[in-house]
């Protein structure tokens, strides 16, 4: 066994034992549980490969199965996307801001999308008559 493998195994054991110490509400961990957790870590590639902290599954992704993702149909994905667009839950920039945060007035509960065409026309006619809106529209 090489020195790197020995230190990686020692690090995994210390991590397992440290996490068990922090979880004080659990009883003592058995030897079988430690072996099981180690086997799971090896199988998943969650063992440290080098001093930089790189894991085996990161260095050799083809050797480890990809995480299973819930399968959705195309129509389900499209429906979720449409709902996110309507709600403004789409990211607007790299900082993580969403449309409904930046442009909150566009996503208020009672907006123009809930009004009929006739109601909007009546409001526009009233605004023009009261002078709140100009009837001149630039083309």
pLDDT digits (tens, 9 = 90+) for 1-11: 566 666 667 66
Q: Does a structural domain hold residue 68?
A: no
pLDDT of 48-65, one tens digit each? 988 888 988 888 888 887
Q: Does a structural domain hold residue 19?
A: yes
Q: Does a structural domain hold residue 86?
A: yes
* Domain closes at, from 14, 37, 63: 63
pLDDT category of residue 36 using cuts at 50, 70 and 90? very high
Q: Compute the distance between CA of residue 101 and CA of residue 91 in angstroms, rounded to an integer.
A: 10
Q: Which domain holds residue 27?
A: 3-63
* Alpha-carbon distance values, 69 to 4, 17, 72, 80, 109 (Å): 34, 31, 9, 16, 34
Residue (of 57, 6, 12) closest to 20 by Cα position = 12
pTM for the model = 0.32
């Amino acid at each position: 066994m090489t020195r790197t493998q020995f230190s990686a195994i020692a690090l995994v054991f210390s991590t397992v034992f440290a996490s068990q110490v922090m979880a004080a509400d659990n009883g003592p961990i058995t030897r079988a549980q430690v072996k099981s957790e180690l086997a799971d870590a090896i199988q998943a590639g969650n063992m440290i490969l080098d001093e930089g902290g790189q894991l085996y599954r990161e260095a050799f992704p083809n050797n480890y199965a990809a995480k299973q993702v819930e399968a959705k149909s195309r129509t389900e994905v499209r429906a979720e996307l449409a709902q996110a667009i309507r709600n403004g839950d789409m990211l607007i920039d790299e900082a993580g801001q969403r449309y409904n945060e930046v442009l909150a007035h566009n996503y208020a509960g009672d907006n123009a999308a809930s009004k009929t065409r006739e109601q909007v026309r009546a409001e526009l006619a009233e605004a023009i008559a009261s002078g709140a809106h100009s009837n001149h529209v630039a083309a």
